Chains A and B, each alone.
Chain A
Amino acid sequence: MSAASSKAAPAKAAAAKDDGKGEASAAPDASAGPLVDRKAIKAHMIAGFVFFFAGLFAGMLYALQFSRLYPFPGVELLSPGRVRMLHTQSVAYGFLLNLFMACMHWIIPRLTGRPVLSKKLSWIVFWAWQATIAAVGVTILMGYGQAIEWGETPTFLDPVIILGAALMIANFATPIIKAAKGKKLYVTLWYFSAMMIWLPLTYAMGNFVPQYFVPGAGGAAITGLYIHDLVGLTITPLGWGMMYYFVPIILKKPIWSHTMSLVGFWGLAFFYPLNGVHHFFFSPIPMYAQYGAVMSTIAVELVVVTVIANFFMTMRGSGGALKSSLPMRFFFTGMVLYGITCLQCAFQTTLTFQKVIHFSDWVVGHAHLVMFGVFGSWCIGAVVLLWPKVTGRAWWSHKLNAWNYWLTTIGIVVMFLDLLVAGMVQGYLWQNLSPWEQSLVSSMPFWHLRSISGIAIVSGQMLMAYNMWMTARQPAEAGAPARAEKAEAMGAAVGAS
């Protein structure tokens, strides 16, 4: 497998000719056992899906409140305000980070030719992470949420999260440090290594500084920085790193332009964190910071174009993979939606747009498109790709996966467009001084449609979860894992319908 995988990813071979992959490739299959901890990957994927459903149902519940159909009115522990915090926390830390950890368990040992620091540590991190996120959910429902957007984790659990992240980083950084030794790294590892610095810094800054040290507008500037860094310096590098690894392997050809990957990485590192204040335009934060945020946000969109162009130029001539490989279809869809969100971002960050769309559902639509439409698609694509490999069984049903793809994609696109329009309706009604209630009445049809699109997404994911369950339950065929390896090595269509 490793021998073939180095052939299948010539980009890696080119970018990291002498990073020690040679030895790993020399011993095919034998290295697979100790190199990649399949059980840990499987566990992270299952946990990721458990929290995914917690997040999905919380989101569904919250949406029902807007349609005045909330099933638990007046129940303190299931108050919609608290459930909303459960939704974002569960999705960000439970769903996305668990699946990213699963992918890092797969990718990092393969790129470095070395296992993670310690298998035991992998499991400590796994259980600590799940226990912490579960505790976050319970304590938020009990009324201990923190007033930091995307950091609603109660203040007393923040240090635990940082500790968990530090252990995770120690585990994953070790093989990279060992393999690096002054050699050039493959692009995926640039993103992963930088993320390992950014995540703890971002988390500590965002959760402690505005909470204990800086009040008011200054605190808002830091919060904006935190919201943005969490998405831009944690989720985005993990997602991009994943794409730079999986896409060349599936397509069996190198990334189109190495220079463009360099521009994309360093552009992200330089411009992305400068954007934070754009979450609080026209607030009492000093205007120079706000103007700076407008310009650096537009700069980020230019940087993002290099990454997207690199992806599509790599895809050129391999369009057939969209038909034959379901993971590739998820990745491609995510990349198209990424282009849309980023284009949208360049416009909505201007003060002209902000006058109308700020505070409205436009922003909610944007957030869903980027967190779920893009990174959710990529993570689910990775599960479609890797689940057969870690269970050693072929997918129970390709049809169900294809159904999930269409339900989820249509669901998120409808939700996005719906909230986009709703946001403009709300913004203009506020601006023209209609009574406040008019904005609620006019939003109602949009909110109903949002709930319906949510149902499409949830049912798609339920099909996927059922499929995962049935796949894992199948009797292991003799030689199935080996066949799965072979299929993977050939970049074969693991989810082809």
Chain B
Amino acid sequence: MKEKLAGVVLGAGLFCFALAAVVTGYLPVAHLSRIEYKTLEQIAPEPSSEFKDLARRYPASFGKHYGKPTAAAFHKALRKGRDIYIAEACWHCHSQFIRPVSNEDVRFGKVSWAGEYMNEMFLPHLFGTRRVGPDLIRENGRHGNDWHAAHFWDPTQVVPTSVMPRYPWFYDGAEPNARGIAIITYVQWLGSWATPEARAARAAATSASAKKKETR
């Protein structure tokens, strides 16, 4: 059996593969699926302050590509920004999760938890396996839009030692174009749900709804 074709194909080929897929794939996935999956509209109902700031900073380009800084325009920019993040392989040099070891919480911020990834913006996930540049999942609020605009144009202008490539195709003339606005919006949005204010607001909302349930 163990040296014959049927044994090799069924035992090693199918059984061992399926066993591993169940134990290390299905089990964690089933476990995590108890967390509710959310759409972008659910997790980010309002346009971010950074997005509104981009509308003020680059009125011509912003108006041409995104119109007014509405929620719909915000979602369009975020989705496009995520796609650019994938297409340019940003995820090969920047990770998107904070580990509970090696002082990462001191350097970057709150340790990652499973719930923050259960939404459409992490389908596919963008955890990454290499950090040439820093982790980005707590990037929100770290730099201003002008810093990012200068940085994507030429990273060494703001970080002289940087080895990050330049992205001049994110710009038309002196203003970021549709792609530039999208990638800045996306990167600025990463971790906006993990700031102390956002977490306090969420906690308040959760306890309020819990109270409502109790009184009902």
Using CB atoms and an 8 Å cutoff, list the residues of chain A in contact with chain B.
15, 65-66, 68, 70, 73-74, 76, 79-82, 84-85, 143-149, 152, 176-177, 180, 182-185, 189-190, 193-194, 196-198, 201-202, 205, 209-225, 229, 233, 262, 265-266, 269-270, 273-277, 279-286, 288-289, 292-293, 354-356, 358-360, 363-364, 427, 430-433, 436-437, 440-441, 447
Knowing that A84-B92, A183-B4, A354-B101 are A-B contacts, what are 9 other residue pairs whose CB atoms are under 8 Å apart, sorted by A's residue number?
A15-B3, A76-B169, A82-B87, A205-B21, A215-B125, A216-B119, A265-B12, A270-B16, A292-B24
With A65-B165, A284-B97, A436-B134 given, is the CB distance from A194 to B13 under 8 Å?
yes
B196 at the interface (CB under 8 A from A): no
User: With contacts A76-B169, A217-B114, A266-B2 known, is A359 near B131, CB below 8 A?
Assistant: yes
CB-CB under 8 A from B129, the residues of chain A are 149, 279-280, 359, 363
- Tell me the complex Cα distance, A201–B16, Å: 12
Q: Which residue of B lies closest to A73 (CB)?
A: B166
Interchain CB contact under 8 A, A74 and B29: no
B150 within 8 A of A: no
CA distance A282 to B11 in the complex (A): 32
Q: List 23 A-B contacts (CB under 8 A).
A: A81-B88, A145-B87, A147-B86, A197-B9, A201-B17, A211-B124, A217-B28, A218-B33, A220-B127, A221-B25, A222-B29, A273-B17, A274-B24, A276-B24, A276-B25, A280-B97, A283-B99, A284-B112, A284-B114, A286-B31, A292-B24, A433-B106, A440-B162
Task: Assess A274 versus B8: contact at CB under 8 Å? Given A82-B89, A84-B92.
Answer: no
Neighbouring B residues of A440 by C-beta, 8 Å: 132, 161-163
**What's the Cα separation between A223 and B91 when bound, in Å?**
14
In the A-B complex, list the 6 residue pairs whose CB atoms are closest, starting with the nearest: A216-B117, A197-B13, A273-B20, A269-B12, A81-B89, A282-B99
| A262-B167 CB under 8 A given contacts A216-B125, A282-B101, A437-B159 | no
Given contacts A190-B8, A210-B124, A440-B163, contact A218 B13 (CB under 8 A): no
Bound CA span A431–B16, Å = 38
Cβ contacts under 8 Å, B60 to chain A: none
CB nearest neighbor in B for A276: B24
Chain B residue nearest to A237 (CB atoms) is B12
Q: Tell me whether A218 and B29 are in contact in the complex, defined as CB-CB below 8 angstroms, given that A193-B9, A194-B9 are known contacts.
A: yes
Contact of A81 among B16, B17, B93, B100 (CB under 8 A): B93
**Chain A residues whose CB sits within 8 angstroms of the CB of B20 once the complex forms:** 225, 229, 273-274, 276
A152 CB to nearest B CB, Å: 8
B-chain residues with CB within 8 Å of residue A215 when the two chains form the complex: 37, 117-120, 122-125
Cβ contact within 8 Å between A216 and B32: yes
Collect the chain A residues with CB atoms within 8 Å of residue B17's CB.
197-198, 201-202, 229, 233, 273
The answer to whether the Cβ of B44 comes within 8 Å of any Cβ in the partner chain is: no
Given contacts A81-B165, A273-B16, A360-B131, contact A221 B8 (CB under 8 A): no
Interface centre among A182, A283, A284, A436 (most CB of B within 10 A): A284
Chain A minimum-CB-distance residue to B162: A440
- A471 smallest CB distance to B (angstroms): 37
- B107 CB-CB contact with A under 8 Å: yes
CB-CB under 8 A for A280 and B127, given A65-B165, A66-B163, A269-B16: yes
